[in-house]
Amino acid sequence: MTTMTCAFATRSRPSTGLSDPFGTVMARLRRLPIRDMLLAASVVLTASAVVYAEEHLQDWIPDVLTIPDDAEIVTDRAIGSTARMFAITTGADVDVLFMDWEESLNSNGFPVSQGADDLLDRSIEFSGPGIANAKIIVAPTTDGDRNTIEFDATLN
């Protein structure tokens, strides 16, 4: 059996006399918690952007509609440039809410129209500035004390 008496050769870069600033920075980042802090900051900023988007109503919804404080957004969709769908859940009394909304819309330049089927279920159909037609309905509920209110619109 033969035994090797010399050390293994190590691979090294030829010396240029200049230091490698990128390699030095990367080596320091590996040792310092800065890398972890940067990762945490990016996660927090991304989560903040998602929460901000979820907390705000679509811009086409008239300002005259007072959204209940306990409202939670469950659907928020834009299809193409004109179709919009939006849904919230709330524990508020929807009969009172719909009466207030209908009065507010009518008195602020959003004419409300009632069709034969609108009289049977709780719904509001309206149009106005920037809105070709929109409908607000109370969806069939399965969640005990909370009601789902759906907004559908076709924009101009």
Q: Is 86 exposed, middle or buried (0-12, 13-18, 19+ CB in 10 A)?
A: buried
119, 93 contact by CB (below 8 A): no
Same domain, 116 and 145: yes
**Structure tokens belonging to residue 41:** 């900051």
| 67: its two tokens | 């959204």
Among the residues of the chain, which ranges form H helices? Answer: 21-31, 34-55, 94-107, 116-120
Domain that holds residue 47: 21-52
Residue range 39-54: mean pLDDT, rounded: 59
pLDDT tens column, 122-154: 889 999 999 999 999 998 866 678 899 999 999
44 and 65 co-located in one domain: no
Helices 21-31 and 34-55, interaxial angle, to 10°? 80
The pLDDT, as a whole number, for residue 113 is: 86
102 and 64, same domain (yes or no): yes
Predicted confidence at residue 114, as pLDDT, reads 73
Quick one: 77 and 126 in the same domain?
yes
Summarised one tens digit per residue, pLDDT across range 99-120 is: 999 999 999 999 998 765 555 5
- Statement to judge: residues 87 and 48 lie in one domain: no
Taking the CA atoms of residue 30, residue 31, residue 32 and residue 34 in that order, the dihedral angle to the nearest 10 degrees is 10
Q: Answer yes or no: is pLDDT of 35 > 90.
A: no
Average pLDDT over residues 27-45: 66
pLDDT exceeds 70 at position 63: yes
CB 84 within 8 A of CB 60: yes
Work out whether the CA dihedral 125, 127, 133, 136 comes out positive or negative.
negative
Identify whether 41 is part of a domain.
yes
Q: CA 90, CA 88: separation in Å to the nearest integer? A: 7
In a shared domain, residues 76 and 139: yes
- What is the predicted pLDDT for the residue at 29? 58
Mean pLDDT of the chain: 77
